[in-house]
Amino acid sequence: MSAALWVLPPAGTLPAQPSAKVARATRVTRAPRIDGRLDEALWAGVRPIDDLVQRQPREGAAPTERSEIFIAYDDEALYIGARLHRVRPQEISRTFTRRDGFGNAERLNIIIDTQRDRRTAVGFGISAAGVRSDFRHTQDEEMRGRESQFDPVWNASAQLDSTGWTAETRILLRSRTRAGWAWTPNWASASSSRSTPR
């Protein structure tokens, strides 16, 4: 599922965005172990983002499945956890591919507008099978301008369980401004057989 959100650590500042949802990243003193399980105490202290809406096929509609996104950070990295609930977890597609390829696997995509221009972005994806993908958008279009040769330093892992699947990511913070951080991410959990909420 996905949602357009502003993500702000305490030091960040943004211009007024009356229609935007706002989420704040929680500062942590200990980095999580990136194993895809969300079983560490620090995640319990992070307020989940769970009021997501669809992007496709019905933009703005309620999602067909429930998802929760958790955002944390420290001086080194941005940590994103996701709990993707599924009514029929046994039907989750887990196609194994090489890096930067998902096939028909269900996946979580994190697309971050680091320049705050709503045109360019960097993206990080993890499939239910644990396959990672990353890319850079240089144009304001879904696929045109996508550079798949973009290979930043980051880590991710995913795990299936009885209620769906979970994922954890660690993305290094390379460009911190003096005013703090501010990003516009778009969370996207998708499969070939399910709508792609936003």
- The domains of the chain are located at 5-95+103-197
Per-residue 3-state assignment (H helix, E strand, C coil) for the chain: CCCEEEEECCCCCCCCCCCCEEEECEECCCCCCCCCCCCCHHHHCCCCECCCCEEECCCCCCCCCCEEEEEEECCCEEEEEEEEECCCHHHCCCCCCCCCCCCCCCEEEEEEECCCCCCCEEEEEEECCCCEEEEEECCCCCCCCEECCCCCCEEEEEEEECCEEEEEEEEECCCCECCECCEEEEEEEEECCECEEC
Q: What is the pLDDT of residue 71?
A: 92
pLDDT of 169 reads 95
Which pLDDT belongs to residue 110?
Answer: 85
**What's this model's pTM, rounded to 2 decimal places?**
0.75
The tens-digit pLDDT sequence of the chain (198 residues) is: 333 333 433 334 344 444 666 777 899 999 999 999 999 999 999 999 888 877 777 888 888 889 999 999 998 899 999 999 999 988 887 766 566 555 667 888 888 877 777 777 788 889 999 999 888 767 655 555 555 666 678 899 999 999 999 999 999 876 444 344 444 555 544 433 343 334
pLDDT at 19: 60
What phi and psi values does residue 134 have, to the nearest 5 degrees?
A: -145, 150
Contact 158, 127 (CB under 8 A): yes
Domain covering 5-95+103-197: architecture: Sandwich (2.60)
